């Protein structure tokens, strides 16, 4: 197979989804900490699913259409650091395959190089031993292989996968935290699995299935090979849940002299802020545009800055749907009342969500450690807030990158307060004052977030030795600053130990209790801690968060 066409490229991309689908749980379990909320595999799978969904909606066998839809779908659905980086890798693919009708081994190597460069540029401080290292080494191998005689797409993929396995095995040597946990990098595993899916699809062979811990503990059987495909069955177009009404298509012709590739990229990114299903395909003398949006006038107005508009077609997809099914139009969703300032917070747990609402957070994006929201989810909340100045509280280190990506896609004044946990987010929200300027509020919120100490109490999901603790599956552990600081067989004992490690000179201690803890149990624990530390004000509130018995805040 010297080259592949658009149909084969689509099959190859679907193979990547299938591979992630059958291995997402195993990738999730490659978590440095033995906690029950590893999410790298899930984030990459959902990011990739969004890409395939848009490819299916594009309904084209043209390689340029497929690659651009794939890239844009991944970007819209990117979740967590691993998902955002994956989306950038796929954006590089689209850039390299634009205007191609077939992909040779050399084209694939160039696409991998482009994806690697864009992914590295998306991270301010790239760290080796991660997904970036794995894709870089695989890309370098592809470049070398592409220069050899008689190389094909298949033979290049075989060499790339082999080098990926070798560098993945070395990631614990680059990141001591991986070595201590006894795991390889989860994101690197995910991107390697994607390429294995590419090869399996092109050669009609079975996808490698990584055995999960739960499978080892049962009968050792692997997940069925069609699980990834079954999961993809829900990706069909769903007009009942449509968000953007107007399918807008046109060409930009007679381009202005100032219309460069950079301006085209900016135009494409802008369309993502006002709609979805975005395709912007640039040729030498014209640009093909497709977008689903509620504001086609904005799409047309921005396009006029690039050149003249021809072959315009705008269709109301909801009206088409009503004509087919005889449905009555539903009332449009109302935006929040306009305001100068607004806060957007990412939160999980109905108690935590209510606390943020009580603090006048305007939009809540459901998500957290187990389920990171996508760039599009955060962008949608920013736009829905209907405010000039928006403060975003990610409340998780794995969501900050996606929040910053969303920030870059809107014309609003968005300030991402890099909160890494719920206590930091609550402290930041408490000091937001609409009487102050945006700059003053940003400084106050940053300061408040830094002044709070936090910890979590959960249970271990595997045996390990880390931070001087011999942890067994089922042990209750306390975690702070990405380190295990307490261990016990009892939730209360582990919580008391954890409090003792972080309390310092704090004046107030707050416990947010989640699943597995009753109100009476939480109040009894408050009484016990109050007796031990009589000079500290101790309180407990219902959080409702999954996996973590307590989230602790010390101020």
Rounded CA separation 277/55 (Å): 9
Burial 430-469 (b: 16+ CB within 10 A, else e): ebbeeeeeeeebbebbbebbeebbbbbbbbbbbebebbeb
Rounded CA separation 217/390 (Å): 48
Full-model pTM: 0.61
C-beta separation of 46 from 93 below 8 A: no
3-state DSSP of 494-516: HHHHHHHHHCCCCCEEEEEECCC
The band of 230, judged by pLDDT with boundaries at 50, 70 and 90, is: very low
The CA R_g of the chain, rounded to the nearest whole Å, is 25
User: Which one has a higher pLDDT value, 338 or 216?
Assistant: 338
Of the candidates 50, 70, 73, the residue with the CA atom closest to the CA atom of residue 62: 70
455-554 has CATH 3.30.310 classification: no
Query: For 266-309, what is each residue's pLDDT tens digit?
Result: 887 888 788 776 666 665 577 878 787 888 898 999 999 999 99
- Give me the chain's average pLDDT, please: 84
User: Which one has a higher pLDDT value, 299 or 467?
Assistant: 299
Over range 407-426, report the average pLDDT: 92
Rounded CA separation 385/413 (Å): 12
- Min mean pLDDT across 203-207, 246-250, 282-286, 337-341 is at 282-286
Over range 315-331, report the average pLDDT: 59
C-beta separation of 119 from 85 below 8 A: yes
Domain ranges of the chain: 3-235, 239-323, 339-450, 455-554
Over range 74-103, report the average pLDDT: 83
How many residues comprise the chain?
555
Rounded CA separation 250/286 (Å): 10
Over range 446-451, report the average pLDDT: 94
- Min mean pLDDT across 31-35, 132-136, 142-146, 456-460 is at 31-35
Question: Does residue 126 have a pLDDT over 80?
Answer: no
Share of the chain above pLDDT 90, in %: 44
The band of 457, judged by pLDDT with boundaries at 50, 70 and 90, is: very high
Rounded CA separation 265/92 (Å): 12
Question: Does residue 234 have a pLDDT over 50?
Answer: no
- What pLDDT sits at residue 433? 92
Question: Does residue 216 have a pLDDT over 70?
Answer: no
Q: What does the block give as tokens for 495?
A: 């919580």
Rounded CA separation 40/447 (Å): 30
Query: For 127-136, what is each residue's pLDDT tens digit?
Result: 888 999 999 9
DSSP β-ladder status, 339-347 and 387-393: parallel
Question: Does residue 236 have a pLDDT over 80?
Answer: no
- Long-range CB pairs of 383-387, under 8 A, 24+ apart, other chains included: 383/273, 383/410, 383/412, 384/335, 384/336, 385/336, 385/339, 385/342, 385/344, 386/335, 386/336, 386/337, 386/338, 386/339, 386/342, 387/336, 387/338, 387/339, 387/340, 387/341, 387/342, 387/362, 387/412
Question: Does residue 324 have a pLDDT over 70?
Answer: no
C-beta separation of 46 from 374 below 8 A: yes
Rounded CA separation 93/109 (Å): 10
Question: Does residue 410 have a pLDDT over 70?
Answer: yes
CA separation (Å) from 7 to 3, 13, 62, 63, 147? 12, 10, 8, 8, 26
Over range 370-399, report the average pLDDT: 87
Of the candidates 344, 554, 526, the residue with the CA atom closest to the CA atom of residue 456: 554
CA separation (Å) from 163 to 142, 168, 187, 193? 9, 8, 16, 13
Instruction: Tell the residue number behind the tokens 């805040």, with chain if given.
Output: 553
The band of 518, judged by pLDDT with boundaries at 50, 70 and 90, is: very high
Question: Does residue 229 have a pLDDT over 50?
Answer: no
Rounded CA separation 458/450 (Å): 23
Question: Does residue 239 have a pLDDT over 50?
Answer: no
Q: Which helix (H) or strand (E) holds 320?
A: helix 317-325
Share of the chain above pLDDT 70, in %: 87
- What pLDDT sits at residue 327? 52
CATH architecture of 3-235: Alpha Horseshoe (1.25)
The band of 320, judged by pLDDT with boundaries at 50, 70 and 90, is: low
Tell the CATH topology of 339-450.
Answer: Rossmann fold (3.40.50)
CATH number, span 239-323: 3.30.70
Over range 507-514, report the average pLDDT: 93
């Amino acid at each position: 197979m010297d080259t592949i066409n658009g149909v084969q490229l689509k099959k190859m991309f679907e193979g990547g989804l299938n591979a992630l689908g059958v291995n997402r749980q195993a990738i999730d379990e490659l978590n440095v900490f033995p906690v029950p909320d590893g999410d790298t595999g899930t984030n990459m799978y959902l990011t990739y699913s969004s890409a395939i969904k848009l490819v299916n909606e594009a309904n084209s066998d043209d390689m340029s259409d497929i690659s651009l839809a794939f890239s844009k779908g991944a970007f819209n659905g990117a979740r967590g650091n691993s998902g955002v980086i994956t989306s950038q890798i796929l954006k590089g693919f689209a850039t390299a395959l634009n205007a191609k009708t077939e992909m040779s081994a050399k084209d694939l190597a160039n696409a991998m190089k482009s994806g690697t460069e864009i992914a590295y540029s998306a991270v301010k401080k790239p760290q080796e031993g991660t997904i970036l290292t794995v894709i870089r080494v695989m890309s370098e191998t592809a470049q070398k292989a592409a220069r050899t005689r008689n190389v094909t797409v298949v033979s290049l993929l075989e060499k790339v996968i082999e080098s990926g396995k070798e560098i993945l095995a070395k990631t614990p040597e680059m990141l001591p935290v991986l070595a201590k946990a006894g795991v390889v990098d989860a994101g690197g595993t995910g991107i390697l699995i994607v390429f294995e899916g590419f090869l399996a699809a092109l050669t009609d062979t079975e996808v490698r299935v990584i055995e999960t811990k739960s499978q080892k503990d049962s009968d050792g059987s692997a997940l069925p090979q069609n699980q990834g495909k079954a999961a993809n069955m829900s990706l069909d177009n769903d007009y009942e849940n449509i968000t953007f009404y107007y399918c807008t298509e046109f060409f930009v012709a007679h381009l202005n002299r100032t219309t460069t590739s950079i301006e085209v990229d900016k135009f494409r990114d802008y369309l993502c802020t006002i709609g979805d299903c975005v395709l912007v395909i640039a040729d030498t003398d014209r640009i093909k545009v497709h977008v689903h949006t509620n504001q086609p006038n904005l799409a047309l107005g921005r396009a006029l800055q690039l050149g003249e508009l021809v072959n315009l077609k705008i269709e109301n997809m909801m009206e088409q749907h009503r004509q087919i099914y005889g449905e009555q139009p539903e009332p449009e969703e109302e935006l929040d009342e306009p305001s100068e300032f607004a806060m957007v917070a990412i939160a999980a747990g109905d108690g935590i969500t209510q606390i943020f609402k009580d603090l006048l957070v305007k939009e809540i994006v459901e998500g957290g450690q187990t389920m990171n929201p996508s760039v599009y989810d955060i962008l949608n909340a920013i736009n829905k807030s209907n405010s000039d100045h928006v403060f975003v509280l990610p409340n998780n280190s794995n969501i900050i990158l996606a929040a910053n990506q969303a920030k870059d896609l809107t014309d609003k004044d968005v300030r991402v307060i890099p909160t890494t946990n719920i206590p930091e987010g609550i402290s930041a929200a408490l000091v937001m004052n609409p009487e102050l300027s945006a700059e003053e509020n940003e400084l106050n919120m940053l300061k408040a977030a830094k002044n709070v100490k936090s910890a979590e109490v959960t249970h271990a999901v595997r045996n390990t030795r880390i931070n001087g603790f011999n942890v067994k599956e089922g042990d209750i552990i306390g975690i702070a600053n990405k380190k295990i600081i307490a261990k016990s067989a009892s939730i209360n004992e582990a919580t008391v130990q954890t409090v003792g490690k972080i309390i310092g000179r704090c004046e107030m201690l707050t416990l947010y209790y989640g699943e597995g803890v009753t109100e009476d149990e939480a109040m009894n624990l408050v009484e016990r801690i109050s007796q031990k530390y009589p000079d500290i004000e101790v309180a407990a509130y219902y959080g409702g968060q999954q996996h973590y018995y307590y989230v602790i805040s010390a101020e």
